[in-house]
Each structure stands twice: as structure tokens, then as C-alpha cells.
Structure 1
Amino acid sequence: MDRRELLNVEGLTLTVARTGLDVVRTIGFSVAPGEIVGIVGESGSGKTLAARAVMGLEPPAIRRSAGSIRFEGREVTTMAPGELRQLRGARVGMVFQEPMTSLNPSMLVGRQLDEGLALHTKLAAGERRARALDMLARVGIKDPEGALSSYPHQFSGGMRQRIMLASAMLLQPALLIADEPTTALDAVVQRDVLELMVELTRAHGTAVLMISHDLAMVARYTDRIIVMCKGEVVEEGTTQDLLRQPRHAYTQKLLAAMPRRLLTREVPPAPAPAVEVRDLVVDYAGRQGFMRRQAGKRALHGIDLAIRPREVVALVGGSGSGKTTLGRAIAGLVRPSGGEIRFAGRPVVAGGEGWRDYRLNCQMVFQDPYSSLDPRMTIGALVREPLRLMPGMSGRDKAERVVEVLREVGLSEDYADRYPHELSGGQRQRVAIARAVVRRPSFVIADEPVSALDVTVRAQILDLFAELQHKHGFSCLFISHDLGVVEQVADRVVVMQDGRIVEEGTRDAIFDRPQHAYTRELLSAIPMLESTPGGGVRLRWRLDETSEETAGETGRDTSAAAVALR
């Protein structure tokens, strides 16, 4: 082993024990001390399995059938269970994709942070507490003392990810594995968490193995990139060289699937908005505590919004800005505290005249189709369900409509007899879209419909959504924190902050000439990749005239070592 290598993987093959199918085949890579290496690829490419194998955390159904994993000169594959327990956490830390499922919901945050320190150090209880408080402060938790006595569910997604990072970094590991660490976070929180992670790892000399499908993020924060496809490493190189001149067709395919701004669409004028809200207010009641009720919260402060027929309006903003609350209130899933909703020029009230017609014409695509699709129903039954109240349709007509809409979303009629767990994430999202459009509604609300999808599947879903919207002419409220996706799909953009609309305008006006400080902060938070004439891409920051390009073009370092906290 090269003395400069912290981790060396050679010829690793992982096999499904029951079937003998190789899901990772003879891959090899290395990580040097202090280096940040990105692993990219589509869902199912083997990224996470390969990374988990470094810690001996393969699922029970997966076995290592060949290969070597050496960490700090020691063979991981032959370690005894006790040795692996000493390795995990102390020398190799991990930040999982969804902190809510990796943090114990029944344990206080303080106890969870103390667990690793008690197991791997000889510090006294007071010293462990002091170290935990210091780390929570470093990761940006405003009230570290209060956080220790709180539960994970009492924090936002961004705060939970910071706590997960604090837990991993408390023991100052030599290697940090970050598995999709910012998938469900908004643009500003993504930037803050990633730059915090880079700052902490640089301070301790920690190497990072970053797994992600966000190519712009990987381009910004890594020194090298490993590209995986169907369980194999197909390309590897320095971040600058690989982006500037990708050699493998699969790498080129990934880069080509990045969202891009399309030509401006002409939305025909209409006498009245398809859907309109006036002075909409939503209040959430405070929780009942042991002695007294906590204060309530106003989630929406008098929102005015109009969506024209055939128009796609994107709703953007940070976590907690009220985006999803507004979408759910318009869909009738949250009862407003004040204001009114108007459909086709007429006010509609829950349970009143016109409400049934509005609800049948207003459909929703949820963020996570796996939790919104009934696992006990077949795909055919799920897609057919919205047709139950469709007047004038016979059973045969409904069956034909189901087959028709499945084909429209790119699924054959054979899928009608399958269940949601038998489909991939992209296929489940296609089913969710099919359910939304099967009634031919005039208005669709799409709440983060592609946030959990990899780059190529995301591109397919966005193309499908645009095709269906053009074919059927429905209006759409598209809720997303992914500004690249918004730039591709939106006709108009509405920016929300703290339950208020702070700016709205055409897509080009918002992205090219933002007026509000918060809009500028959102747009400048996440880097973007621009195509170059040679078939590669270059990195740049939005709204920055002196944006970073590839180091060969500007002479500037785009690696993580060059990151300055903004």
C-alpha cells in the first residue's frame, strides 16, 4: 500500500447471496489523507454499497465475494467484530442521507452525542458534555444547551443534518463518508452544511468520501471524482480534468442530463386566472405542554397569488418559508385561517358550492411517492382510483384510460399488476404523475417531485412532466428548492421567505435580475455547471461575474481546499 493512501480498495466485488448477482464488480479506488473524493452515478450504480463496505456495513443480503479493503494499512475484510466496532465512529465516521432515520427518535440529542465519546474515549462525563456543546456551537446550533435536552424531531432537516455532522466529527475520524448529505435541503442550507463539513474536515485533516448525484455540488467541493455505472467504476480523475473533458460516454450522459434553461414559452392570455388566492392566512396552533400551551405560529401571512391557465409557476424558498403549506392550503389539505381561494374566477369554500368541482380539478404530486402510494394496491388500482367519481365513464372506459395514461408516463400496461415496492424511485414518480393527470385536471400542484431522484431519472421526469403539461394544458404550481430544475420548467417564479412572498416575476427576470436580497442569496448559494464547446462543463456561481471556471481556464483552484465560507 502507498504510504500516502488512507484507504485503498482493490478488486471489490459485492454479491447478492441468494441469487449470486454481482451488484458491485471488481472496483478499485483510493483516498489520501485530507483528500475529498466524490463518487457519482445513477441510483443502483453501487455507490452507497461500496462506501458502506468500507465500514463493514453491507446489508445482510449482500456478501463480499472478492477484493480487498485496506484502511490505514489494515485489512478491513478480515477484522473481528470487536475491531470493526473500534473502527466505526472512531476512525471512520458516516453522515447518512436522511438524519431523521439515522438519529434515534426516542433518545435525547445529548445522549446520542455522548454515546460515541463514552465508547471510544476515556473522557469524564463533564468533559464529554463540554466537547459536545463545543461541537454543536461549531456546527451552528444556536442553543447548544437546549439542543442536548431535545429530541431529533424538534429540529428542521437542516438542523438535524448539522447534528448528524457534529456526531460524526466529535471523534475526529480520519475518514468521513457522506452519503447524499444534502438531498432534502434547500439551497442556502445545502451550502452552509457542505462548507461547514469542509471547514471541520480541513481543520482535523479528515478525508471525505462524498456520495452524491448532485454534480454541481461534487464539482465544487471535491478534489477527485469516481464515476460508477451498474456496479463498475467507468471513469476516474481529478475534478477539473474530468469535468473539462469527460472521456466515458456514461459520464457525458450524466453531464448532459443537468437541468438547463429552455426558451421562454408563450402563455396565452386568459380572462381570469385558473387558480387565485387572496390574502391567504394559515395559523398553526401551539402544542399543549405539561403546564401550558406553547405559542402558535403563523405559517402564511396574507398571500396573494394568481396562476393563469396553462402557466407553470414555480414556488421557491428556504425550509420553513411556507412553500408546502401554501401548496397544501390551495389543494384543500390544510384549512386556511383567513383569505379566499378562487377557481375559474369564482370563490370556493371547503364544503360549499363549487368545492367538489375544484377538488376534482386540482390534483397533487407529492414529494415522496413511496409514502403517498398505498403499498397494498396495484399500480392499476392506484391510477384508476381518481376515476371513481368521474361521471359518464364505464368500467371499460376507465380501464382504457388507465392503460392510456400509463403509456403516457412511459410505463407499459404490464405495470398495472405490480405493486409500488416492485418499482424504482423514478417509476414510482411516474405512477404518482399518472394518478395526478388521469382525470385530465385543469390544475396540478407538484411538491418537490424530483428532489430524491438521480440526475438522469430527474431529466426524464422533467421532460415527461413538460410533455404532459403541453399536451393536456393544465396549470401548475411547481414547488421546489432545486433552482436548476426551476430554471428549466418555470414560466414565472415566486420567492417566499418566512410565510411571505418577497419577490415574483418571469423566470428570466428572477434569475437574471433579482431585486430582493433573499432572492440573491438563494441564487448565489449553489454553484451551477455550464456546458463548454468541447463537450465538458465548467463551474460557476450564479450572479457572480468573476465565477470560478475550471482551473485550467482561470488559474484558480476549484478544489475544496479553496473554499472560503461565504
Structure 2
Amino acid sequence: MTAQDALLSVRDLTLQIAGAGTVVVNGVSFEVNPGEIVGIVGESGSGKTLAARAVMGLVPPAIRRAAGSIRFEGQEVTSMAPKRLRALRGARIGMVFQEPMTSLNPSMLLGEQLDEGLALHRKLKPAERRALILDMLRRVGLGDPERALASYPHQFSGGMRQRIMLASVMLLQPALLVADEPTTALDAVVQRDVLELMVGLTREHRTAVLMISHDLGMVARYSDRVIVMCQGEIVEQGATQDLLAGPRHPYTRKLLAAMPLRGPSRSFPADETPIVAVRDLVVDYPGRRRLLRREEGKRALHGISLQVAPRQVVAVVGGSGSGKTTLGQAIAGLVRPTGGEILFDGQPITRSETGYWNYRLNCQMVFQDPYSSLDPRMTIGGLVGEPLRFVEGMGRARKAERVREVLGEVGLGEAFAGRYPHELSGGQRQRAAIARALVRRPKFVIADEPVSALDVTVRAQILELFAGLQARHGFSCLFISHDLGVVEQVADRVVVMSEGRIVEEGTRDQIFDAPKDPYTRRLLSAVPALENAPNGGVRLLWRLDGDKAAARPPAMAEAL
């Protein structure tokens, strides 16, 4: 198919920051054919989102087009009148944004929001629009669409909100769907469900898809072609399988090399006293108080028992709402358990004992979002050094030396001590958060989704850093994550949770190679594995597809 026949043709697109003249997208050219799924991958700042949004004329006001052409269905988009461009959006080009909670109006009922686009672009009676909406909501998996129409966005989970956002776009049957990181904030199972749904709906209507993501594995599964962007330029593009099997550009190989790989397994003495043990832990959340009554509460943890040996990394995995974060917060003392007990070095921990203070000092936590967990009014040096206030006998000079030492260990250096969190990138902020957790040399660290918000290459750097620090200082770790690819790389043992209960646990190799519980198998089926390919490339495998385990390559660490 020629460029003239393409649904979308972008030629030599160059975008600049107005006034400064800084080029953020430089000479980008690509096509999208009818019914084709094209993925655009790259790190944050690579220009992939700006290039895709320019197709709809949705670039920020500070960005201007310096050169290039964008043709959709044979018409030049860049010269369209605003009225014509508004008619194009939604009706012919739809967009699914990264975070549906910010793209759905929180003050409007979902029924009103879903009806809005149909009323604007389709000449249908209200009853006909309602019938179409209800049918689409059923197709995207909402069990009670009538109730959904009378609900607000905040009353649904992230996965359900993304399904509703997809339904609102596909109601108009656009010719092109732009999906901007549509599953970044979702756990692996929901992520796969949403993508399968999106692909199914678009195939049915022969809708082309421009899928933007930094997750090369997910793009590889669902796309026909892949475009790789770096620093505002396309460095490589081609058929998905060909590009994965034989990447030509060093940056593409760098992205592939950053995908999680299983390392060698480690063994631990069976007779060692666990550094942390949890027995029959129960956490209840009370219901909201009404005028004359209190709503029924929710039990978040149902008698959880686990233990973490010295120097061991135990991963807790599960979907959103499985209770894994509540478990970590309860162990860290941030949530008061309803029942059960926590032991540290073999001794029960109660808030009334002096041992509890020692436990809290030796139990540190790395949170999912470092930007919200680091005080924006304090410098990085002040934030990292704050836990040292409680170290007896350590003078000011020794504390400053320890801060410099730990900043160096996490790859920041002394120059970052005087900066504020907003002056650091996401990866640098996470390094600072790790430094803050380790500055006291704790025996036990809880890492709650520490890399879920990071680019694939930054994620690889943080995981390598974390593993190096854990090997050097020998702390035990409870690693909470919904990303089984990451867990496969870092964990010694794996605990699988669902609805506040442990459904399966064992060594990493036992869980990944011979899962027993159906829920574990479903989790694993949503995560890609890697296999060697000629020319330094990889081939993606999908575990347990068709309920048959995919063959694992014998040497995963040599896959790239």
C-alpha cells in the first residue's frame, strides 16, 4: 500500500517549543494503514506522545509545528479550520488517554458523558443513543450497564474506568484510535484484558490503532509494526517480529536489553530465624459513618502468614485490590492490624514495648511514587539525612559523611544534596527515595511498587541498583509488585495474593515454572518471556497461552 492509500500519513513532522525554538520532534515520518495496529515506543521525552497528539491537533499551546505534513483520509490536517478539526476528533479519530480519571469528568454521570459524543456526531434519537451505549458497555465487560449510567467515574476501579473510556471512543466507530499509554497504571491481568478488548473492538470495525507506550513487550504482542523514537527522532521502524528478531539501531537493542530477565536462584539456610514473620494477620477497614448507622466494613487481609529470611527478597504479587499494599503497610506499622502478630528477629512486636521502636528504625519503606513521598520543601540531602536524627552517638560530621556515602551508592553524588525533589527526574527521585530508606542501614526494607512508574530503561537501572545494594548490605526485602516480569528478576520467593488471601507461595522457580493455582496461571499468562533470536534480537513468548506452559529458554540471562 502506498503513502497515498494510507489512512494516516505523517511526513517530516517537526515540532518546536515556541519562543525558545527547541526542537522536540524532528523530521518524523510514518504511515498507518486501515485496520493496522502501529506501536510507537520510546522513553519519556522521546517525543512519541507529541507526535501522536499532533495528528489530532492536540499539542500544548507552547508547541508549534515548524515543518511537515499530516494527512488523514487524504486531507491535510495541519491546514484544517478549527470547526472542521473538531468534527474530525471523536467521529473519525478517537483517543484513549493514559489516565481515564483525569479524562473523564468527575462531576458528570457516566451516562451523560457517553451520550455527549453520540449527540454531537451522530443524528440519533435519545432512545437509540441509550441503546447503543448500553450495548457497548456490556461488550466492554460491565455487568450492570444500567447502574453504570447513573454512576460517577470515581465509583469504578482503574481497569473499569479504562474500559468505559474505550467504550466512549468506540461508540463513534472512528477510523483511527490513538491510545496513549492506555494500560500503564493497570496490573498485568487487567492490562491484558483491556488490550485484548481494545484489539477485538478495533478489528471488528477495522479501526486502525496508533499505540503509544514505553512497554516494548506489550506493544510487540499487539502491534503489526513498531516505530522506535529517541530524543524526538525515529531511529528505527518496521514489522514487529522482524524488528524484535533483528534490531539494527543501538537504542532499540538498549530497550530490549532493559526488559526483565531471570537471574540465578539463591539458596538460604533452612534453620535461620526469619528476620520478619507474620502470623494470621488480619486487617479490617471500618465502613463510612452515616447519620444513624455505619456502613459495613471491609476485611482487607484474611489471616495472612509469611516469613522473610535474612538477606532474602520475598515478592508479594497480585492484582489491584488483592491486599498486597495493605500487607506491606501493616508490617511497616502504617496500618494497625485487627488481629494476628508480627515478629522481628523472632520477637513479637507490640506498640507498648520498647522493641517496637527498634523495629520501626530497622524497617524502612520505599514508596511507589517518590514525588508524593518526598517533602518538596526539603533538599535531597535533608531528606536522606532525616532518618539519622534518631541514631545515638552519631555527630553532625558523621551524619553528613553518611549522606554523601549513600548518595554515591545510589548513583546521585554529592552534587544532588542541595537540590529539591522537583529538580530531579523520576528515576533520580526514586534513587533518592532508596537512599533515604537505606541511610540507617536497616535490616528490613519494604519496597511497594518501586519501579511501576518508571520507563523501561530507568526501571532496569533501578532494579540493578537495588539488587547491588541488597547484595552489599544484606538487608531483607518485601518486594510488592503487580509486574511479574520484574518479580522474576529480583525475587527469591514469591507470594501470590488475591482478595486479601494468599493463594500460592513458593520459590521463584516453583511459581514461574510450575504454578498450581488458576489465579497464578492467569497472572503469568499476562507477562511475556524472552527467547534468544539470531542477530542479537529476541523472540517474545507468552506463558500458559491456551493453558499450556510456553517452553522457557534454558539461559534467560543470555537472551540479549
TM-score (norm 2): 0.95
Letter in structure 2 aligned against 1:527: P
Return 452-461 or 529-538, whichever deviates more.
529-538
Q: Give the alignment's Cα RMSD to 1 decimal.
A: 1.7
Q: Deviations over 1:389-410 (max 9, x none)?
A: 2222222222221111111111
Q: Deviations over 1:379-426 (max 9, x none)?
A: 122212222222222222222211111111111211122222222111
8 Å contact 1:12–1:66 — kept in the other structure? yes
Letter in structure 2 aligned against 1:535: G
Letter in structure 1 aligned against 2:39: G
Helix, strand or coil: the match of 2:210? strand
Partner of 2:536: 535
Partner of 1:560: none
Partner of 2:341: 340
Helix, strand or coil: the match of 1:484? helix
Q: CA deviation at 1:247?
A: 0.9
In the TM superposition, 1:435-514 aligns within 5 A as: 435-514=436-515
Unaligned runs of 5+ in 1: 550-566
Q: Work out the CA distance in 1 between the residues paired with 2:328 and 2:65.
A: 46
Return 515-524 or 469-478, whichever deviates more.
515-524
8 Å contact 1:97–1:179 — kept in the other structure? yes
Letter in structure 1 aligned against 2:61: P
Letter in structure 2 aligned against 1:531: N
Letter in structure 2 aligned against 1:369: P
Q: CA deviation at 1:270?
A: 5.7
Q: Work out the CA distance in 2 between the residues paired with 1:401 and 1:53.
A: 48
Letter in structure 1 aligned against 2:522: E
Partner of 2:166: 165
Q: Deviations over 1:437-484 (max 9, x none)?
A: 111111111111111211111110000000011111111000111111
Partner of 2:33: 32
8 Å contact 1:13–1:25 — kept in the other structure? yes
Q: CA deviation at 1:289?
A: 4.9
Give yes or no for the alignment of 1:52 onto 2:53.
Answer: yes
Letter in structure 2 aligned against 1:393: M
Unaligned runs of 5+ in 2: 553-560
- Equivalenced residue count is 549
Helix, strand or coil: the match of 2:296? coil
8 Å contact 2:531–2:538 — kept in the other structure? yes
Return 514-523 or 264-273, whichever deviates more.
264-273
Partner of 2:150: 149
Q: Work out the CA distance in 2 between the residues paired with 1:292 and 1:143.
A: 27
Q: Work out the CA distance in 2 between the residues paired with 1:516 and 1:413.
A: 48
Partner of 2:277: 276
Partner of 1:205: 206
Q: Work out the CA distance in 2 between the residues paired with 1:37 and 1:122.
A: 31
Helix, strand or coil: the match of 1:534? helix
Q: CA deviation at 1:261?
A: 0.5
8 Å contact 1:512–1:543 — kept in the other structure? no
Helix, strand or coil: the match of 1:15? strand
Return 532-541 or 459-468, whichever deviates more.
532-541
Q: Work out the CA distance in 1 between the residues paired with 2:88 and 2:291.
A: 42
Q: Work out the CA distance in 1 between the residues paired with 2:128 and 2:332.
A: 51
Q: Work out the CA distance in 1 between the residues paired with 2:387 and 2:81.
A: 55
Q: CA deviation at 1:3?
A: 4.0
Q: Alignment identity in percent?
A: 75
Change over 3 Å in CA distance of 1:224–1:290 after alignment to 2: farther
Return 382-391 or 488-497, whichever deviates more.
382-391
Partner of 1:63: 64
In the TM superposition, 1:359-374 aligns within 5 A as: 359-374=360-375
Q: Work out the CA distance in 2 between the residues paired with 1:401 and 1:388.
A: 12
Q: CA deviation at 1:219?
A: 1.1
8 Å contact 2:344–2:359 — kept in the other structure? yes
Helix, strand or coil: the match of 1:327? helix
Q: Work out the CA distance in 2 between the residues paired with 1:429 and 1:103.
A: 29
Give yes or no for the alignment of 1:419 onto 2:434.
Answer: no
Q: Deviations over 1:240-297 (max 9, x none)?
A: 1111111111111111111101011233556321111111001111224577543211
In the TM superposition, 1:312-327 aligns within 5 A as: 312-327=313-328
